[in-house]
Amino acid sequence: MLRGRIVAVILVATLPLIGAVRPAIADSGCPAGSAPVHIHNDVICVVVTDPGTPDSPGTPASPGGSANQPVGCFKTDGTKVPCATDLGVWWPGHQCYAERTDAPAGSPAWQGHGDGSVWICSICVMVGNISTCHADVIWVAPGQAPGPPDPGQLASVAVGVMPLERAEVRTAPQAPDHTYIGVENWLWVPQSQWKTLSKTVAAGGTSVTVRATPRQVVWNMGLAKTRCYSAGIAWRSGMTDAADTPCGFTYESSSASKPDGVFAISATIRYDVEWTCTGACTRASGTLGLVDAPAGVGTLRVLQRQTVVVR
């Protein structure tokens, strides 16, 4: 009910008094070095950084930001506050909780603008058992959505710009050479592609660092799929029949009936994606689960062995 009373006061008392509304943000675009990213109905300005070269295979990359930087939302006096309540998300610049409102086009709340968005900016102070609340209606320029963004959504933005490895398909035999039914074929991707990647994105006071660690390769062999949980081992000339591979596939039928007489095959590296947040964060860490890189493709010709009877 408190929230309903605040909205009523705003609509009746604040909208006509547009001169009393706090100054609007003048810049209508994102600052240099950042780019607008659409998240739901809002636009945030995202800065993408690269904290360094990828770590060695299997070693998580170091998260960005200072280890001593506090996580969460704070008032100017250092008091920690929830990043989100039923009044909206914490808006550090105005020291209030902001919630988007659907003010009618052309109403005073828009201050003559046709773009951007309109927000209710509320702050409540508890004195004894009495809560006193103040609210303003504020127009916000495009790219200046208030409050900390959801770090999980920022993590998704980071994954979208990460150079996930397109698998270089390696098989033994390797096309254009052929293989046979019943023969185990070695499968692998270069070890240089089996590495942990890291990317950091920032929006306002929120910084999210994503770590993507390769966990498996999904091989589509044109007849069936198989999963390998490493890059595999490269086959080398001179290996004996005793040599073994952790990643292989054996065909049970030939490719004679397929287009061009070959199986179209592909390999997809799947990454386990985790993220950490520093600064104004509604959550300190999380995961996006397994994320597929673009698939690498190849072909393999599979023949039927012919039996020759010699008398």
Per-residue model confidence as pLDDT tens digits over 168-212: 999 999 999 999 999 999 999 999 999 999 999 987 778 899 999
Three-state secondary-structure class, residue 276: strand
Mean per-residue pLDDT over the chain, rounded: 80
Q: 61-70 burial string, b = 16+ CB within 10 Å, else e? A: bebbbeeeee
Give the residue with greater pLDDT, 220 vs 148: 220
**CB hemisphere CA count around 78 (13 angstroms):** 1
Distances (CA, A) of 195 to 165, 210, 290: 9, 14, 15
Per-residue model confidence as pLDDT tens digits over 22-66: 333 334 356 666 666 655 455 556 676 654 344 443 333 333 333
The per-type count for the chain, helices as H runs and strands as E runs, is 2, 19
Beta-bridge mates of residue 190: none
Within 130-265, residue ranges assigned H as helices are 151-161
Question: What is the Cα–Cα distance from 206 to 152, expressed in whole angstroms?
Answer: 11
Can you read off the two tokens belonging to residue 111?
């201050």
pLDDT of residue 90: 84
pLDDT of residue 5: 32
Q: Are the CB atoms for 230 and 267 separated by under 8 Å?
A: no
Q: Mean of the pLDDT values across residues 63-86?
A: 69
Single out the residue of 292, 290, 288 nearest to residue 152, CA to CA.
288
pLDDT of residue 1: 32
